[in-house]
C-alpha cells in the first residue's frame, strides 16, 4: 500500500482530506467529541469502542448522552459518510494514517491505577498499525505512561520502533460535554511528541482540526502533566471551597453570599463547593501514585482528596440534621435525590459520584429514590437506581428532597406544590445551591444547604 505524503495526509483543501482515514479508539465524551471535529474537518473517521451500545448510538447518529449541538454535528457527519463506528479495531487501524486513543485508566477500590484496558488496546492497535502512522494519546494518564507502557506495547505488537516505524505524541484537549462544542473547538491544544517528525505531524494534524492555539511542550511527560495538574488544581480549589462551606454552616454564614462578594473584589477566586466527579478525582489519584513511585509526597493533593472524599459524609450529616429537625429518625426516612449527572444540564452519568452518595444513604437504612429530568425511567433503572417516571410520583410521600445536581430546571421547582405531595414535616437539603433558603423556609420546609449556614429551624 502506498504511503501518503505529508502534504496529502494533511491537505489544507477539505475535499482532499476525505482520502485520509483516521481511527478514534474509545468513544466516551472526549473521544466522540474529537471524532466529530475531525470528521467535520473533512477526514474519514472510524470510531472504535468495545461497548456495542455506544457503537450502535453512533451508527444511528445519536449520542449516549444529552448534547444537542454535538449530536447535530454527529448526525451531519454520519449522514455524509465521514464518520462510522465499529467494535472491531483491526480494519480501521490498518487503514488509518492517524490513530487517536481515548481509553482512560481505571482507579480501583484501593485508589490505585489500572492501565490494563490501555495496554490491551495498544496491543490490538500495534498488531494492525501501518508503517508511518501517527499514534496520539488523548486519555488521562500519569506522566511517563505514554513513553513506557504505551510505547513499549505498541513496539512489541507492531515490530516497529517509535520515531522510525511510527510516530507518537500525547495531546490535551477538552470534551464538549458540559463546556459547549465551540469551547472544545477554540480551547488551546497542548501536545508533546517523541521526536521532531512526530512533532511536525501532530502540529499539522491539530492545525487541520482546531481553531484554537496549539502549544507544544518539551516532552510527552510534560503534556501528560498538564492534564493531571489541571485536575489537581480543580480538586484543591474545590477542597478549599468545601472546607470553607462546612465552616459557614457552623458559623451561621451564607457561603454563597460571601463568595459573590469575594468575586466582585477578586474575580479569579472561583469558589465552588460540590461533590467532585471521578474525572477530577481520578487525575489526582494518578498523580499521587506517580509521586509515591518517585519516593515523594504531594501533600496538598492528598489533603484535597481527603477533604473532597469526606464531603459525601457531610451531605449525610446535613440530611440527618434535617430529619432530626423534622422530628424523624434517619432509619426508614424517605429521600428523593434530584439529579444523577456528572454536571448540571448534561446527560452524562459516567463520572458522577451521585451513585456513591446514594449508597451512603442506603447504608444508613434510608429509603432512596432518584429523579433526573434528563434521563428516562428506563435509563435510571439501568444505572441501578430506584426511580419514578414523573417528578410528582417521585416526590409523593417523601420526607426529604436532596438536590444533588444543579440542573437549571430544579431552580424552578414549585415548592408549594411539592410540599403538598411530601410527607409533613418535610425537608430540602440543597448541595447545588439552586434553592433560596428563605423561600424554602417560607414554604414550610426544614432547609439545609452545603455552606449555607443561615437556616433558622
* CATH code of 137's domain: 3.40.50.720
- The DSSP secondary structure of 42-54, one letter per residue, reads T-EEEEE-S-HHH
Domain boundary among 217, 236, 269: 217
Q: State how far the Cα of 342 lies from the Cα of 415, in Å rounded to an integer.
A: 25
* Band (6; pLDDT cuts 50, 70, 90): very low
The answer to whether 203 and 190 have CB atoms below 8 angstroms apart is no
Q: Examine residue 228 and state whether it is found in any structural domain, yes or no.
A: no
Q: Which long-range contacts (CB under 8 A, 24 or more apart) does 66-70 make?
A: 66/346, 66/347, 66/348, 66/374, 67/176, 67/177, 67/181, 67/346, 67/347, 69/176, 69/180, 69/181, 70/32, 70/33, 70/36, 70/176, 70/177, 70/181
pLDDT at 3: 43
Distances (CA, A) of 132 to 1, 13, 312, 422: 12, 22, 49, 65
pLDDT at 353: 92
Whether residues 317 and 193 fall in one domain: no
* Band (13; pLDDT cuts 50, 70, 90): low
For the segment 43-55, what is each residue's pLDDT rounded down to a tens digit?
Answer: 999 999 999 988 9
Output b/e per residue, 9-20; b: 16+ Cβ within 10 A: bbbeeeeebbeb
Q: Is the pLDDT of residue 11 over 60?
A: no
Cell of 20: 485520509
Q: Examine residue 233 and state whether it is found in any structural domain, yes or no.
A: no
The answer to whether 423 and 442 have CB atoms below 8 angstroms apart is no
- The DSSP secondary structure of 108-161, one letter per residue, reads -TTS-EE-HHHHHHHHHHHHHPPTT-EEEE-S---TTTIIIIIHHHHHHHHS--
Helix (H) or strand (E) holding 85: strand 83-86
pLDDT at 9: 52
Q: Is the pLDDT of residue 339 over 70?
A: yes
Percentage of residues in the chain having pLDDT higher than 70: 95
Domain count, the chain: 2
Q: State how far the Cα of 366 lies from the Cα of 48, in Å rounded to an integer.
A: 41
Q: Is the pLDDT of residue 224 over 50?
A: yes
Q: Is the pLDDT of residue 245 over 90?
A: yes
Q: Examine residue 231 and state whether it is found in any structural domain, yes or no.
A: no
Whether residues 212 and 294 fall in one domain: no
Please give the residue range of the domain that contains residue 72: 6-217
pLDDT at 356: 93
For the segment 185-208, what is each residue's pLDDT rounded down to a tens digit?
Answer: 778 899 999 999 999 999 999 998
Whether residues 174 and 320 fall in one domain: no
CA atoms within 13 A on the CB side of 60: 9
Q: Is the pLDDT of residue 103 over 90?
A: yes
Whether residues 158 and 258 fall in one domain: no
Q: Is the pLDDT of residue 113 over 70?
A: yes
Q: State how far the Cα of 393 lies from the Cα of 374, in Å rounded to an integer.
A: 16
Distances (CA, A) of 342 to 218, 279, 314, 370, 435: 33, 9, 19, 14, 19
Q: Examine residue 241 and state whether it is found in any structural domain, yes or no.
A: no
For the segment 370-408, what is each residue's pLDDT rounded down to a tens digit?
Answer: 999 999 999 999 999 999 999 999 999 999 999 999 999
The answer to whether 35 and 59 have CB atoms below 8 angstroms apart is no
Whether residues 206 and 263 fall in one domain: no
Strands 367-371 and 189-193: unpaired
Q: Lowest-pLDDT range, 100-114, 177-191, 285-299? A: 177-191
Whether residues 324 and 187 fall in one domain: no
Cell of 307: 477533604
Domain boundary among 194, 217, 240: 217
Q: Examine residue 408 and state whether it is found in any structural domain, yes or no.
A: yes
How big is the chain, counted in residues? 457
Model pTM score = 0.88
* Band (10; pLDDT cuts 50, 70, 90): low
Q: Left if phi > 0, otherwise alpha if psi is -120 to 50, otherwise beta: which for 29?
A: alpha
Whether residues 65 and 204 fall in one domain: yes
Q: State how far the Cα of 300 lies from the Cα of 33, in Å rounded to an integer.
A: 32
User: 4: closest CA among 90, 98, 83?
Assistant: 98
pLDDT at 14: 63
The answer to whether 206 and 171 have CB atoms below 8 angstroms apart is yes
The answer to whether 332 and 410 have CB atoms below 8 angstroms apart is no
Cell of 361: 444513604
Q: Is the pLDDT of residue 68 over 90?
A: no
Whether residues 147 and 286 fall in one domain: no
Q: State how far the Cα of 314 lies from the Cα of 320, in Å rounded to an integer.
A: 10
User: 183: closest CA among 29, 412, 394?
Assistant: 29
Whether residues 71 and 213 fall in one domain: yes
* Band (12; pLDDT cuts 50, 70, 90): low
For the segment 20-63, what is each residue's pLDDT rounded down to a tens digit?
Answer: 999 999 988 889 999 999 999 999 999 999 999 889 999 999 88
Whether residues 431 and 350 fall in one domain: yes
Whether residues 182 and 287 fall in one domain: no
Q: Examine residue 240 and state whether it is found in any structural domain, yes or no.
A: no
For the segment 413-435, what is each residue's pLDDT rounded down to a tens digit?
Answer: 999 999 999 999 999 999 999 99
Domain boundary among 192, 217, 242: 217
Whether residues 270 and 124 fall in one domain: no
Strands 189-193 and 167-172: antiparallel
Q: Is the pLDDT of residue 16 over 60?
A: yes
Q: State how far the Cα of 163 lies from the Cα of 236, in Å rounded to an integer.
A: 37
* Band (179; pLDDT cuts 50, 70, 90): low
Answer with the residue of higher pLDDT: 215 or 183. Answer: 215
pLDDT at 147: 96
User: 235: closest CA among 168, 308, 165, 181?
Assistant: 308
pLDDT at 400: 98
Percentage of residues in the chain having pLDDT higher than 90: 78
Q: Examine residue 264 and state whether it is found in any structural domain, yes or no.
A: yes
Helix (H) or strand (E) holding 190: strand 189-193
* Band (334; pLDDT cuts 50, 70, 90): very high
Q: Is the pLDDT of residue 293 over 90?
A: yes
Q: Examine residue 1 and state whether it is found in any structural domain, yes or no.
A: no
pLDDT at 165: 97
- Contacting residues for 165 by C-beta, under 8 A, at least 6 apart: 131, 132, 155, 158, 159
* Band (310; pLDDT cuts 50, 70, 90): very high
Q: State how far the Cα of 222 lies from the Cα of 147, in Å rounded to an integer.
A: 11
Amino acid at each position: 500500500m502506498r504511503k501518503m505524503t505529508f502534504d496529502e495526509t494533511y491537505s489544507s483543501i477539505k475535499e482532499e482530506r476525505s482520502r485520509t482515514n483516521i481511527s478514534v479508539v474509545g468513544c466516551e465524551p472526549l473521544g466522540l467529541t474529537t471524532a466529530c471535529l475531525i470528521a467535520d474537518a473533512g477526514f474519514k473517521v472510524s470510531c472504535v469502542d468495545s461497548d456495542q451500545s455506544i457503537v450502535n448510538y453512533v451508527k444511528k447518529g445519536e449520542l449516549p448522552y444529552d448534547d444537542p449541538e454535538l449530536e447535530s454535528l454527529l448526525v451531519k457527519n454520519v449522514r455524509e459518510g465521514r464518520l462510522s463506528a465499529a467494535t472491531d479495531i483491526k480494519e480501521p487501524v490498518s487503514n488509518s494514517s492517524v490513530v487517536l486513543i481515548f481509553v482512560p485508566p481505571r482507579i480501583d477500590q484501593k485508589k490505585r491505577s489500572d492501565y490494563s484496558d490501555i495496554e490491551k488496546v495498544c496491543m490490538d492497535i500495534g498488531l494492525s498499525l501501518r508503517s508511518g502512522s501517527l499514534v496520539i494519546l488523548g486519555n488521562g494518564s500519569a506522566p511517563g505512561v505514554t513513553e513506557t507502557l504505551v510505547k513499549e506495547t505498541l513496539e512489541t505488537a507492531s515490530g516497529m520502533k517509535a520515531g522510525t516505524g511510527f510516530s507518537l505524541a500525547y495531546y490535551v484537549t477538552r470534551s464538549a460535554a458540559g463546556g459547549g462544542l465551540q469551547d472544545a473547538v477554540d480551547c488551546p491544544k497542548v501536545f508533546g511528541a517523541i521526536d521532531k517528525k512526530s512533532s511536525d505531524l501532530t502540529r499539522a494534524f491539530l492545525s487541520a482540526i482546531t481553531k484554537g492555539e496549539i502549544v507544544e511542550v518539551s516532552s510527552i511527560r510534560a503534556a501528560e502533566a498538564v492534564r493531571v495538574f489541571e485536575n489537581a488544581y480543580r480538586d484543591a480549589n474545590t477542597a478549599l471551597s468545601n472546607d470553607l462551606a462546612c465552616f459557614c454552616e457552623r458559623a451561621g454564614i451564607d457561603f454563597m453570599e460571601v463568595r459573590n462578594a469575594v468575586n466582585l473584589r477578586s474575580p479569579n477566586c472561583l469558589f465552588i463547593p460540590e461533590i467532585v466527579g471521578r474525572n477530577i478525582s481520578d487525575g489526582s489519584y494518578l498523580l499521587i501514585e506517580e509521586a509515591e513511585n518517585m519516593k515523594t509526597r504531594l501533600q496538598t493533593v492528598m489533603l484535597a482528596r481527603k477533604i473532597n472524599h469526606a464531603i459525601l459524609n457531610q451531605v449525610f450529616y446535613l440530611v440527618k440534621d434535617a430529619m432530626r429537625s423534622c422530628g424523624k429518625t434517619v432509619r426508614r426516612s424517605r429521600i428523593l435525590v434530584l439529579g444523577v449527572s456528572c454536571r448540571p444540564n448534561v446527560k452524562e452519568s459516567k463520572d458522577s459520584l451521585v451513585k456513591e452518595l446514594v449508597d451512603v444513604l442506603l447504608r444508613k437504612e434510608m429509603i432512596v429514590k432518584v429523579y433526573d429530568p434528563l434521563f428516562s425511567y428506563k435509563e435510571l433503572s439501568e444505572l441501578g437506581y430506584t426511580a419514578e417516571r414523573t417528578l410528582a410520583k417521585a416526590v409523593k410521600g417523601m420526607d426529604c428532597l436532596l438536590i444533588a445536581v444543579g440542573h437549571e430546571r430544579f431552580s424552578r421547582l414549585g415548592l408549594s406544590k411539592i410540599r403538598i405531595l411530601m410527607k409533613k414535616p418535610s425537608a430540602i437539603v440543597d448541595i447545588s445551591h439552586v434553592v433560596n433558603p428563605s423561600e424554602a423556609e417560607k414554604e414550610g420546609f426544614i432547609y439545609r444547604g452545603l455552606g449555607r449556614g443561615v437556616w433558622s429551624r
